Every structure is written in C-alpha cells, then in structure tokens.
Structure 1
Amino acid sequence: MTERPILFFDSGIGGLTVLRETRIFIPDRKFIYIADDAAFPYGNWEEDELKSHIIDLFAKLLNLYNPILCIVACNTASTLVLKDLRRAHPDVPFIGTVPAIKPAAEQTRSGLISVLATPGTVKRAYTHELISSFASKCHVRLVGSAKLAGFAEDYLRRKPVDRASLKQEIAPCFVEKDGHHTDIVVLACTHYPFLVNLFRKNAKWPVDWIDPAEAVAKRALSLLPDADQVQTLTEHLDLAHFTSGRTDYATNRLLHGFGLRLTPLGQE
C-alpha cells in the first residue's frame, strides 16, 4: 500500500517553520508541501473570494494526494476556512495554525500581550473569539502587517530586507501601560519565526516571541493512527509544489535545504 502523506499548506514558504518542527516529532512520515504562491499574498484578496479559492484548491489536493492528515500552516487560511474544510471533508483530519493567544495569556507576567499577524488574521472574528475566550483579563494589542510575510520570503531567499521598515512594522507591538510593558508577542503568521532574530535586534525591549509550530506538531502526532506513528525510515526527499509552477534558483536551494524536492503539482 502506498504510504499516505501528511500534507502541508501555506500561501508561501512560511509553513516551512511548521514542517521543520513536525519532522522532529514525526521523522519517518512522508510530507508534501503545497505553497499557493500563485495567490500570494492572501491579504490582497477579498474574503469570500479567498475562501472559495482555498476550498476549491483543497478539493483538488485531496483528490491528488489522499493525505492521512492536513496541516494548514497558515494563520490567514486557518482562521478563514478551517471549519469549512472540516465540514466538506469529514474523513480527513485538518489541523489549523491559529494565534497562540491562550498560551500567551497563561505565560504573561505583565498582562500586556501583542499579536503580530497579517491584516486578515487581525480582523478575523476567529481571532477576536480567541481573545474573548482566553485573554479577557489581558490587554491585547493586535498588530497587522502587510509587509512582514513578504520580508520573510525575501529573507529566506537571501534578498535584502529593509531593516528600518521592519522596525517600524513591529513597533506597535510594544505597549507601556500603568507602569507595565508588553512581555509577550504572539507570532500569528507562520512566516514570522524566520524573522525572529531580526525582531529581537529591533525590539524596543526584550519580549518572549511565541511560535505555535511545536503545538501544531504535537497535535499532528496525536492524530496519527498508532500504527502510523512508528515506521521504517525510507530514503526519499519529501515533495514541494508551488501553485504558480514558477520557482527560481534561490527557492530551489532553500527547498533542498529543507529536504524537499520540487515537482509539478500532481507528480511525484
């Protein structure tokens, strides 16, 4: 029987942060990484059009690859369509990547939390529901950036990043209130952990930067059938597909560094 893969999905290459962590917990499973770069950035889409686009694309992906589970390694997509995907495909487990507001509220000492996200994630009702449910006693600053995901894509391809602009994008995360300071920033976009060293260098003061990748990886492990959690390691490169069909040398080199082999959509 052909091994059923774990499918990762993101608008670009940010989901590689989640893939990297998941491999630690599930080292012997085959992975397929889908980058919907033809539609990147998702922030430029109208909400209803983006929802229809992602749902239609997933119908195609599930038919092509028959994954054992799907990880939506994108906060924008997760907060927008996760419920619809689960309803449309009840036999496939879907794991979303949503802002880590609950652990931030549990860990903060000052009570001041910031959520650094894309504009779409910031305005999503799902995000505000998380705050109401888990951080109602905290002061939560939502910071939406239209630039940082693109900066991360450039940074990973070793292109220059405008450091002054990056500093300006994260500046609203740092809040002073009644003698207290923000002490936790939630990285609510899977692209952002790739920039965390630059964030630290340009922060107004030290904070904890929370990345949900480990929690997503643990959840994926818990959803695999017991017989699938221990397998004989096979010699292969996991696969990556870009919906645009276009990649450059820097992207190919990056994917190879993550143990991924670039192939056309639907081919192995």
Structure 2
Amino acid sequence: MEANSPILIFDTGVGGLTVLAELRNLLPDAPVIFAADQAGLPYGEKSEAEVAARVAGLLGRMSERYRPRLACIACNTASTIALGMVREVLEIPVVGTVPAIKPAAAMTETGVIGLLGTKATIRQPYVDRLEAEFAQGKTLLRHGAPELVEPAEAKLRGKPVDLAPVRNAVAALRAMPRGAEIDTVVLACTHFPLLRAELAAELGDGVTLVDGAAGIARRVAHLLDGQVFDRDREDMAVTTGPLDDFVSLTPALAGYGLTRIVRF
C-alpha cells in the first residue's frame, strides 16, 4: 500500500462530511477523497436494485481511478442496501454506515427511541435486524424525512435554513403512539447531524440526538491501524453532478480540508 493512497469517503451528497470531520480527529495525516454522487440524488426515492447497482458501479470505477486503501460509504441508505454488493466488487476494506440504534438503546431511559432517516432507510430489513438485536423491549418509532436533506445542504452553503421541514419531522415523531415519551433520536442520515442544533431546539430539553459518525471514524481508524500516511497532494472533493453547483460549496469544503474540487 502506497503511503499516499487515500481514504475514499462516498456519499450521495455532502452529509458524509460529518463522518470526515470525525475521521480528521483520529487520522489527521490521512489523505482523503470525498466523493458526492449528486447526479444520483435522491437515493431515498430509488428502488433497492437501482441503488445497489449505482453504488457498486460508481465505487468500482472510483476505486480503479483513485486506488484508495479503504472505502467508506458515508450514507445510511446506500449502506443498508448496497454494502454487501460493494464488498464483493472491491478488493479493499469497505466500511458502511448503519443507524446508531445500539447506542441509542443503551442511552434511552423511557425506552422510546425516535429514528429519522430517508424513506428507503427506515424500511430496510437491516434496520429491522438492528432493532431486534439491540432494542428488544424498547419502542423504535421510525419516520422518513428526506425533506431534511435540502435545509442541511442549504446550511452548509451558508444559506438560510427553512425550519418547516424540521418542525414537520419532529411533529411526525411526536404524533406516533408513545411519541411524547421519546427521549433519544437516531439521526439515520449523515445529512441530519448538520441540523443538530435545529432538531435539538424543536425536540426540546431532555432528548438526546445520536448519530453514527464517531463510530464510523473509529472503525476506519481501527482497520488502518499501523499504516503509514503521506499527504503529498491536496485532498480532493469529487462530484458526479454539475461542477458549477459543487463549486458553490468551496468555502464549506475547505473547512473540512478539501481544497481541490473536480467532476468525476
């Protein structure tokens, strides 16, 4: 493995930057390529077959071009659907993102947990298995809130945040049976931690927000333990969508150490 081989972080949009932020704390010297499949948005509205084929195909081609040492799928929807297929395609370690149900179940005192994700994520059998394994005896209330992605990206771009989707998502959770007892909410989309302050304000005191970014970063660091890193070029952000639209994120991306922007 070459010392300048990057870690490839893949997401549908820019929510995966929340994972990159945690990874920088653990592996500050590691070269990184952040790839956003903005041409493929929204994943949450696609069929499972479409998502699996697209993610596996893109990561296969990106792996050939960029020769990463590890790939991280920093997207709950893509991971819950395509992780197995991607691991079959790539010959490097692949780390996925799954809803943080296990830590949420350990934290809750009321036994009622809310989960906000895309419509595709909340219906996945993988989430059913996580609930069965780690949240037995607890109540998990799921709500698909893809409308939170747009205000999250707006906030990252320094634009005003439309709070209506935040209020609607919280109201939907609270309206479910036992929704008033929710004391822990899983943010099962990597975009959603960008709206942590807005969601916390709407949920009120006494509610803990949980996401998987720190755990994902720890898993990546564990798999790369002992490896040598040499950042001999600028860390890069790649988009599959229009470059002009991605360039508008330049200040935000630079804040995450991504100083070169290209189209895939």
Q: TM above 0.5, one fold?
A: yes
- Is 35-44 or 5-14 further displaced after alignment? 35-44
Does residue 57 (structure 1) correspond to residue 61 (structure 2)? The answer is no
Aligned CA distance change for structure 1 residues 157 and 263 (closer, same or farther; 3 Å) = closer
Q: CA deviation at 1:178?
A: 7.3
Aligned AA (2:73): V
What is aligned with 1:136? Answer: 136
- Between stretches 185-194 and 200-209, larger displacement belongs to 200-209
Q: Tell me by how many angstroms 1:245 deviates.
A: 3.8
Check if 1:45 corresponds to 2:46.
yes
Query: Cα gap change, 1:223/1:82 in structure 2, threshold over 3 Å: closer, same or farther?
Result: same
1:250 to partner: Cα distance: 3.2
Larger deviation: 34-43 or 248-257? 248-257
Which segment drifts farther, 48-57 or 71-80?
Answer: 48-57
Secondary structure, counterpart of 1:240 in structure 2: strand
Paired residue total:
262
For 1:65, give the aligned amino acid: Y
Q: TM-score, normalised by structure 1?
A: 0.91
2:112 and 2:178 in contact (8 A); partners too: no
Deviation at 1:28, TM superposition (A): 0.6
Return the match for 2:234 from 225, 237, 240. Answer: 237
The alpha-carbon deviation at position 155 of structure 1 amounts to: 1.5
Give the superposition deviation at 1:83: 0.9
The alpha-carbon distance between structure 1 residues 205 and 171, as it changes in their structure 2 partners (threshold 3 A), is farther
1:93-242 correspondence to structure 2 within 5 Å: 93-174=93-174, 181-228=181-228, 231=229, 234=231, 236-242=233-239
Helix, strand or coil at the partner of 1:190: coil
User: How high is the sequence identity, in percent, across the aligned residues?
Assistant: 37
1:101-147 deviation per Cα after TM superposition (whole angstroms, max 9, x unaligned): 01111111110101111111001111111101111210110111120
Mark the runs of 5 or more structure 1 residues left unpaired by the alignment: none
Contact (CA 8 Å) 2:167, 2:202: kept in 1 or not?
Answer: yes
Q: Is the 1:174–1:204 contact (alpha carbons within 8 Å) kept by the matching residues of 2?
A: no
CA drift of 1:65 comes to: 1.1
The one-character-per-residue Cα deviations of 1:140-183 (angstroms, maximum 9, x if unpaired) are 10111120012211121122222133211222333787797211
Contact persistence 1:245–1:264 (CA under 8 A): no
In structure 2, distance between residues paired with 1:18 and 1:96: 11
Cα pair distance change 1:54/1:110, threshold 3 Å: same
- Take 1:13 and 1:92, find their aligned partners in 2: how far apart are those partners? 23
- Name the SS for the 1:199 alignment partner: helix
Residue 140 of structure 1 aligns to a residue whose secondary structure is strand
Partner of 1:10: 11
CA contact (8 A) 2:9 2:32 kept: yes
* CA deviation map 1:32-58 (0-9, x unaligned): 000000111112222211211111111
Say which SS state the counterpart of residue 244 (structure 2) adopts.
coil
CA distance in 1, matches of 2:180, 2:253: 42
CA contact (8 A) 2:243 2:263 kept: no
Deviations 1:55-92 (A, max 9, x none): 11111011011111111100000000001111222x31
Tell me what 2:31 maps to. 30
Distance 1:65 1:265 in 2: 13
Q: Distance in 1 between matches of 2:15 and 2:178?
A: 36
Query: What letter is aligned with 1:53?
Result: R
Q: Which amino acid aligns with 1:97?
A: T
Deviating above 3 A after TM superposition, structure 1's stretches of 4 or more consecutive aligned residues are 174-180, 234-237, 247-250
Q: What letter matches 2:199 in structure 1?
A: F
In 1, distance between residues paired with 2:249 and 2:24? 20
TM-score of the superposition, structure 2-length normalised? Answer: 0.92
Distance 1:178 1:69, change over 3 A: closer
**Segment of structure 1 superposing worse, 204-213 or 20-29:** 204-213
Q: Distance in 2 between matches of 1:39 and 1:95?
A: 21
Distance 2:101 2:234 in 1: 34
1:79 and 2:80 matched: yes
> 1:254 corresponds to which letter in structure 2?
A
